[in-house]
């Protein structure tokens, strides 16, 4: 059996989920009470435009045929027309995608930097200072709304210390890294709660494994044992947790972008709700869901690459 | 329901533990005797501590509920009365313990009255999805076959979306209001309960006591609700506490984004959002309502932690 034995089956599953995602996104527009064409057009309502919308959405046809039309347009990269921006919805979304992707990657990396040392040390020295302090801190941060934490960080670092800007995306790579530090930290702290907990648990379990005793008895130095055996195995156990929670992190970006007024997808989503820009809401929802499917797939691949047992177990 | 259920759960799992212990006794008596005694002692110690955790959480939650319900008794100020002469008074001002906002409204009064909305969402959203998701998971797991396959694909589908994004999208289509927020949470949040409950039911239905009940000729409804549910309910009950933390944060998040409670109604999230505009001059406006969210969130977390060990103590 190959290393990626379960991969084809996984891909079939992904296709089914993607199909389901389009179905949910399609039905979102049906939730609008009243006439969708009227709602989509809003103040830019004219009779000819309404007729045009009726025919693109196929509102006078049976529902399965409407779904067929929706899928047909989707395959041509057409998510509908944003009458608020007077542009194709895909163009509007494309203009807002960069800050969000940047923020997701930035906070995912920052979360690793924060949680790996803390989680590992907490597991090694159970009940130690790091363990106790991190437990108190992360119990609190679990009950903390991410957006509120962001505001507290602004209050400390921007208002009082003047160390970071209150809002904005900045220019150039260095500018982005500087301007997005507080937003990324906000998300990363929330994300770290789960990571620290699971890395701590994984470290404790690994320390009790027999191969650790074997390695010690062979005369391997303690730091070598920690690095080559404990750490690597603990990290392996956390990869799946990391992947699953990366998906939750995306929800965090929506809020944090709004706190720091970043011109990303989350801000676009929320402003589109009040602008009643339904095609954009539909498009952003679809995009986020596809992003999550991609992340989950990537997690599986990484896990299979790091640990040959994973692919085998599922494959058989 | 929950109290009676967990009681019988303790009984049946307790039998299993004794069986396992008897087998261990046979292996190596003296050493295991000492180990078991030490284990029992440490378990007693930790049970006392866990009870304290649970009690602390319950007391905190009770304080929050009483404060919110007795708001008219505790503060004389009205949460919505505008006082143009005393805007942005700082905390500890005479007559305004926590200061006033930009319209001169009393912050303490707004936090207490606003808590009614947030706590109502925490309880209303959590209880409905707990009951609904549990029943769906129970039925899917017990009946199996096509019903199970369809329901679980539906669950997979909901998990493909970032939770917050899907809720925002649904609220966007229905129109922002507290009631539509409830609907959005009800539509999406049952899936976690269904997944947990299904997994438990699939295992439980092969156990002796279920087979015995079926052999006695009991119908599926009676077996599901009188035999399986009481024995496996602890998992969803514990999860509901985590979910309640999530829902209180969600309520505040949607309020913050302007998609939940609408002004001038006081609500913690909208208060934080309003207060962010005055961050440079009046720190208390955005920070204090957030502390209220953290307080209630920690209360639910502690109850969850306490319940986890209390309900699982008998299973070990």
Average pLDDT, chain B: 80
pLDDT band for position A312 (50/70/90)?
low
A274:B293 CB<8 A: no
The H or E element spanning position A82 is: strand A81-82
pLDDT value of residue B6: 35
Q: Return phi, psi of residue B95, to 5°.
A: 90, -20
Helix then strand then coil, % of chain A, to nearest 5: 80, 0, 20
What distance in Å separates the CA atoms of residue A302 and residue A214, rounded to the nearest whole number? Answer: 28
B179 and A CB contact within 8 Å: no
pLDDT at B15 over 50: no
pLDDT at B4 over 50: no
pLDDT value of residue B32: 57
A285 and B CB contact within 8 Å: yes
| Cα radius of gyration (chain A) | 24
Per-residue model confidence as pLDDT tens digits over A229-249: 788 888 887 887 887 788 778
- Give A 240-279 residues with CB within 8 A of chain B: 247-248, 250-251, 254-255, 258-259, 269-270, 272-274, 278
Percent of chain B with pLDDT strictly greater than 70: 83
pLDDT value of residue B46: 65
What distance in Å separates the CA atoms of residue A6 and residue B128, rounded to the nearest whole number? Answer: 38
Q: Which of A176-190, B21-35, B258-272 has the lowest mean pLDDT?
A: B21-35
Percent of chain B with pLDDT strictly greater than 90: 16
pTM: 0.80
pLDDT value of residue B1: 34
Average pLDDT over residues B265-277: 85
Nearest to B189 by CA among B202, B175, B170: B170
CB contacts, 8 Å: A254 with chain B: 162, 164-165, 168
The H or E element spanning position A81 is: strand A81-82
Average pLDDT over residues B75-103: 74
Nearest to A270 among B160, B168, B298 (CB): B168
A140:B294 CB<8 A: yes
B167 and A CB contact within 8 Å: no
Residues in chain A: 316
Average pLDDT over residues B24-36: 53
Residues in chain B: 316
Higher pLDDT pick, A135 / B14 = A135
Place of tokens 């019988």: B8
| Cα radius of gyration (chain B) | 24
CB atoms within 10 A of CB A253: 29
pLDDT band for position B62 (50/70/90)?
very high
Average pLDDT over residues A152-180: 78
pLDDT band for position B11 (50/70/90)?
very low
Nearest to A21 among B160, B164, B293 (CB): B160
Q: ipTM, 2 decimals?
A: 0.81
B276:A155 CB<8 A: no
Q: 3-class DSSP state for residue A135?
A: helix
CB contacts, 8 Å: B257 with chain A: 255, 258, 270
CA-based nearest residue in chain A for residue B298: A143
User: Encoding tokens for residue A264?
Assistant: 């990303």
pLDDT value of residue B5: 36
CB contacts, 8 Å: A23 with chain B: 157
Higher pLDDT pick, B71 / B133 = B133
Question: Could you tell me the sign of the dihedral formed by the alpha carbons of A295, A301, A306, A309, in that order?
Answer: positive
Cβ neighbours of residue A299 closer than 8 Å, sequence gap 6 or more: A239, A240, A242, A243, A244, A246
Per-residue model confidence as pLDDT tens digits over A82-95: 777 778 888 888 88
Interaxial angle between packed helices B2-27 and B229-256, expressed in degrees from 0 to 180 and rounded to the nearest 10: 120
pLDDT band for position B135 (50/70/90)?
very high
- Picking from B159, B172, B277, B301 by the largest number of A CB atoms within 10 A of its own CB, the best residue to mutate is B172
A285:B161 CB<8 A: yes
Higher pLDDT pick, B172 / B123 = B123
pLDDT band for position A5 (50/70/90)?
low
What distance in Å separates the CA atoms of residue A186 and residue A295, rounded to the nearest whole number? Answer: 21
Nearest to A234 by CA among A269, A199, A209, A259: A199
pLDDT value of residue B295: 92
A21 and B CB contact within 8 Å: yes
CA-based nearest residue in chain A for residue B169: A281
pLDDT at A37 over 90: no
What distance in Å separates the CA atoms of residue A219 and residue A294, rounded to the nearest whole number? Answer: 44
How far separated are the first and last CA of chain A, in Å rounded? 9
Burial of A56 (0-12, 13-18, 19+ CB in 10 A): middle
Per-residue model confidence as pLDDT tens digits over A41-55: 777 777 777 777 777
Number of separate helices (H) and strands (E) present in chain A: 15, 2
CA-based nearest residue in chain B for residue A293: B160
CA distances from B78 to B105, B107, B111 (A): 8, 10, 11
Average pLDDT, chain A: 81
Per-residue model confidence as pLDDT tens digits over B191-236: 999 999 998 898 888 888 988 988 898 888 898 898 888 888 888 9
CA distances from B236 to A143, A308, B129, B137, B229 (A): 19, 34, 11, 10, 10
Q: What is the DSSP letter of A87?
A: E
Cβ neighbours of residue B285 closer than 8 Å, sequence gap 6 or more: B88, B99, B101, B102, B107, B271, B274, B275, B278, B279
The shortest C-alpha distance from A223 to chain B (Å) reads 31
What distance in Å separates the CA atoms of residue A70 and residue A63, rounded to the nearest whole number? Answer: 10
pLDDT value of residue B96: 72
Per-residue model confidence as pLDDT tens digits over B31-61: 556 666 666 666 666 667 768 888 999 999 9
CB B97 within 8 A of CB B108: yes
CB A151 within 8 A of CB B279: yes
Average pLDDT over residues A285-295: 87
Nearest to B98 by CA among A263, B242, B88: B88
Burial of B179 (0-12, 13-18, 19+ CB in 10 A): exposed
CA distances from A221 to A126, A212, A216, B207 (A): 21, 11, 7, 48
What distance in Å separates the CA atoms of residue B272 and residue B244, rounded to the nearest whole number? Answer: 20
The H or E element spanning position A88 is: strand A87-88
């Amino acid at each position: 059996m190959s290393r990626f034995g379960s991969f084809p089956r996984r891909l079939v599953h992904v296709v089914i989920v993607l199909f389901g995602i389009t179905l949910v996104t399609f039905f979102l527009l049906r939730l609008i009470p009243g006439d969708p064409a009227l709602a989509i057009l809003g103040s830019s309502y004219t009779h000819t435009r309404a007729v045009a919308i009726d025919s693109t959405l196929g509102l006078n046809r049976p529902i399965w045929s409407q779904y067929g039309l929706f899928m047909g347009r989707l395959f041509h990269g057409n998510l509908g027309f944003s009458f608020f921006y007077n542009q194709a919805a895909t163009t509007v979304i494309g203009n807002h995608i960069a800050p969000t992707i940047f923020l997701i990657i930035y906070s995912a990396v920052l979360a690793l930097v924060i949680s790996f040392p803390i989680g590992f040390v907490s597991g090694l020295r159970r009940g130690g200072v790091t363990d106790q302090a991190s437990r108190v801190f992360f119990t609190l941060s679990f009950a903390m709304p991410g957006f509120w934490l962001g505001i507290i960080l602004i209050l400390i670092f921007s208002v009082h210390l003047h160390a970071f800007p209150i809002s904005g995306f900045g220019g150039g790579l260095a500018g982005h890294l500087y301007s997005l530090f507080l937003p990324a930290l906000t998300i990363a702290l929330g994300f770290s709660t789960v990571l620290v907990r699971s890395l701590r648990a994984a470290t404790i379990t690994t320390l009790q494994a027999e191969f650790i005793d074997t390695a010690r008895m062979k005369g391997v130095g303690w730091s070598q044992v920690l690095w080559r055996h404990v750490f690597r195995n603990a990290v392996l156990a956390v990869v799946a947790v990391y992947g699953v929670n990366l998906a939750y992190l995306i929800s965090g970006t929506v809020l944090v972008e709004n706190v720091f007024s970043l011109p990303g997808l989350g801000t676009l989503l929320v402003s589109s709700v009040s602008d009643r820009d339904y095609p954009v809401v539909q498009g952003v929802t679809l995009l986020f869901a596809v992003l999550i499917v991609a992340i989950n797939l990537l997690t599986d691949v990484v896990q299979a690459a790091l640990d040959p047992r994973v692919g085998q177990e599922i494959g058989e | 329901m929950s109290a009676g259920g967990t009681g019988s759960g303790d009984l049946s799992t307790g039998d299993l533990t004794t069986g396992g212990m008897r087998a261990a006794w046979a292996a190596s008596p003296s050493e295991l005797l000492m180990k078991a005694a030490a284990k029992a002692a440490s378990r007693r110690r930790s049970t006392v501590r866990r009870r304290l955790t649970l009690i602390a959480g319950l007391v905190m939650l009770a304080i929050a509920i009483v404060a919110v319900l007795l708001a008219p008794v505790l503060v004389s100020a009205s949460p919505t009365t505008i006082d143009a002469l005393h805007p942005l008074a700082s905390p500890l001002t005479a007559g305004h313990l926590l200061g006033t906002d930009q319209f001169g409204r009393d912050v303490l009064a707004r936090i207490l009255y606003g808590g009614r909305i947030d706590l109502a969402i925490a309880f209303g959203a959590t209880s409905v999805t707990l009951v609904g998701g549990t029943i769906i998971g129970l039925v899917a797991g017990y009946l199996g076959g096509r019903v199970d396959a369809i329901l679980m694909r539906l669950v997979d589908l909901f998990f493909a979306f970032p939770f917050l994004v899907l809720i925002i999208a649904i609220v966007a289509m229905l129109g922002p209001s507290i009631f539509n927020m409830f609907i959005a949470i009800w539509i999406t949040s049952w899936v976690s309960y269904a997944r947990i409950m299904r997994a438990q039911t699939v295992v439980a239905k092969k156990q002796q006591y279920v087979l015995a009940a079926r052999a006695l000729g009991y119908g599926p409804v009676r077996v599901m609700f009188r035999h399986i549910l009481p024995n496996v309910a602890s998992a969803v009950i514990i999860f509901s506490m985590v979910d309640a933390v999530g829902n209180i944060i969600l309520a505040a998040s949607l309020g913050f984004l302007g998609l939940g409670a609408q002004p001038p109604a006081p609500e913690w999230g909208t208060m934080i959002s309003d207060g962010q505009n005055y961050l440079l001059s009046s720190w208390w406006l955005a920070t204090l309502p957030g502390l209220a969210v953290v307080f209630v969130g920690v209360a639910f977390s502690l109850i969850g932690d306490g319940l986890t060990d209390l309900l699982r103590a008998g299973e070990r």
